[in-house]
């Protein structure tokens, strides 16, 4: 069974601070996706990374895929209250069957206080 561990589980910081959340696994993934989810809504895709060592930037968000494709991080610069939400990482193996579905971590609950 492939597991994705996300840390921290909960994070509450002040507006303007920087933060990093982590997604780790002992398994190799062909791709890794980050989603943001608000209460009562479905996950909204932020980014997909597919190459080991890949770094992608989305405004104040920086995503990195580990060289071995087993882990990933999300760094937010100058966090804003609008960044509040549940951040989920999800790994895909792309090897066919249900494995083409995603394995999700439990998420990081992020609260940015004004």
Residues that bind other proteins (CB under 8 A): 4, 30-31, 33, 35, 40-45, 48, 88, 90, 92, 94, 96-98, 100-107
Q: Residue 51 contacts by C-beta under 8 Å, 6 or more apart in sequence?
A: 65
Q: Which residue lies nearer to other proteins by CB, 43 or 66?
A: 43
Task: Classify residue 41 by burial, with Cβ atoms within 10 Å: 0-12, 13-18, 19+.
Answer: exposed
- Find the shortest distance in angstroms from Cβ 43 to other proteins: 5
Q: Which residue lies nearer to other proteins by CB, 48 or 84?
A: 48
Residues 74/20, Cβ–Cβ less than 8 Å: yes
- Find the shortest distance in angstroms from Cβ 42 to other proteins: 4
Query: Is the CA virtual torsion 43, 9, 20, 99 positive or negative?
Result: negative
> Position of tokens 């002040």?
14
- Find the shortest distance in angstroms from Cβ 16 to other proteins: 28
- Find the shortest distance in angstroms from Cβ 78 to other proteins: 27
Q: Which residue lies nearer to other proteins by CB, 9 or 20?
A: 9
């Amino acid at each position: 069974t492939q597991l994705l561990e996300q840390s921290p589980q909960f994070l509450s910081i002040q507006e303007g601070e920087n933060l990093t959340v982590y997604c780790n696994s002992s398994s190799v993934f062909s791709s890794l996706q980050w989603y943001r989810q608000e209460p009562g809504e479905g996950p909204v895709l932020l980014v997909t990374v597919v190459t080991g060592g890949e770094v992608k930037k989305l405004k104040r968000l920086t995503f990195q895929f580990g060289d071995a494709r087993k882990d990933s991080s999300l760094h937010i610069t100058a966090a804003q209250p609008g960044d509040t939400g549940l951040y989920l990482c999800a790994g895909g193996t792309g090897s066919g069957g249900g494995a083409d579905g995603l394995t999700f971590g439990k998420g990081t609950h992020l609260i940015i206080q004004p």
